[in-house]
């Protein structure tokens, strides 16, 4: 454990074996514990406020702010929380807000994620594993981002939206509904579906047969004249025994009908 003499550890701070804390970093455990797991590197000028629980082998770059209260006018310093998993990279000026009393009171981040400079994660969000936030990508409160999704530069995501697994959101896009798993989307108003994220899926080891099955499901869902319930039934009949299709079906069955999902196709 190496803590620079100019760093400040206030209140309840627990550091695992091999943790390094750089100059002028502030770990503020006065509102609740700050717990940093083994092998984590906290560079200088980082600010972390509790209650924050961080796992192993994370890297936090200068001027990141973790554990600030939700940007909610009704927040009154309640001891809401942040849980961060293992091996995440949090770059310069990233902001991660703790949960609010309007939800479960916690913001949750999984493992092996990469948050590039100036990206923002608001209160009560849930981030999966192997997710990438490119520079300036920002998500509002209560958003879910599922495994292997990529948010490109300066993407903005509206409250309560969900980004499905393996989805790719193009730069400067505005998301105000759910984004389907495996989808490639881009645009401001409206956001449009370009197609299946075939390049990303190939890089992650999906076979041609799996990608063809996903493409077929997208055609049934987005290019037919079927109602959503009819499209789901047809996908189940044709492809429902495939694991990659079950991910899509489970997502579709949990779409909030008041919000819906992005389904407008880009014109050829």
Q: Decide if 112 is catalytic.
A: no
Active-site residue, selected from the candidate residues 55, 67, 99, 141: 141
Active-site residue, selected from the candidate residues 28, 86, 124, 178: 124
CA-to-CA distance for 163 and 113, rounded, in angstroms? Answer: 15
β-partners of residue 49 are 28
Encoding tokens for residue 226?
Answer: 């079927």
Q: Which helix (H) or strand (E) holds 217?
A: helix 208-218
| Beta strands across the sheet bearing 192-196 | 2-3, 20-21, 41-42, 59-60, 89-90, 114-115, 132-133, 150-151, 168-169, 183-186, 192-196
Q: How many CB atoms are closer than 10 A to CB 223?
A: 10
Q: Are strands 144-145 and 138-139 parallel, antiparallel or unpaired?
A: unpaired
Q: Decide if 124 is catalytic.
A: yes
β-partners of residue 157 are 139, 175
Active-site residue, selected from the candidate residues 120, 123, 142, 146: 123
β-partners of residue 121 are 96, 139
Alpha carbons within 13 angstroms on the beta-carbon side of residue 51 total 13
Q: Decide if 241 is catalytic.
A: no
CA-to-CA distance for 147 and 123, rounded, in angstroms? Answer: 19
Instruction: Say if residues 194 and 215 touch (Cβ distance below 8 Å).
Output: no
Q: What residues act catalytically?
A: 123-124, 141
């Amino acid at each position: 454990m190496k803590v620079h003499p100019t760093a400040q550890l206030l209140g309840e701070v627990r550091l695992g074996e091999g943790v390094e804390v750089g100059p002028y970093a502030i770990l503020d455990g006065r509102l609740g514990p700050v717990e940093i797991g083994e092998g984590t590197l906290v560079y200088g000028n980082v600010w972390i406020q509790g209650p924050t629980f961080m796992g192993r082998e994370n890297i936090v770059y200068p001027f990141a702010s973790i554990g600030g209260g939700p940007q909610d006018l009704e927040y009154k310093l309640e001891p809401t929380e942040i849980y961060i998993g293992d091996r995440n990279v949090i770059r310069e000026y990233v902001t991660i807000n703790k949960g609010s009393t309007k939800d479960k009171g916690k913001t949750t981040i999984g493992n092996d994620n990469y948050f590039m400079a100036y990206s923002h994660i608001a209160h009560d969000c849930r981030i999966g594993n192997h997710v990438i936030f490119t520079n300036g990508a920002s998500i509002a409160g209560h958003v879910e981002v599922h495994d292997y999704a990529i948010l490109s530069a300066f993407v903005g995501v509206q409250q309560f939206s969900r980004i499905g697994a393996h989805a790719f959101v193009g730069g400067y896009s505005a998301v105000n509904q759910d984004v389907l798993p495996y989808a490639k989307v881009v645009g401001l108003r409206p956001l449009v579906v370009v197609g299946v994220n075939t390049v990303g899926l190939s890089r992650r080891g999906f076979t041609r047969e799996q990608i063809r099955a996903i493409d077929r499901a997208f055609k049934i869902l987005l290019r037919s004249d079927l109602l959503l319930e009819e499209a789901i039934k047809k996908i189940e009949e044709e492809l429902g025994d495939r694991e990659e299709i079950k991910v899509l079906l489970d997502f579709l069955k949990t779409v909030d009908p008041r919000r819906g999902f992005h389904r407008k196709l880009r014109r050829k």
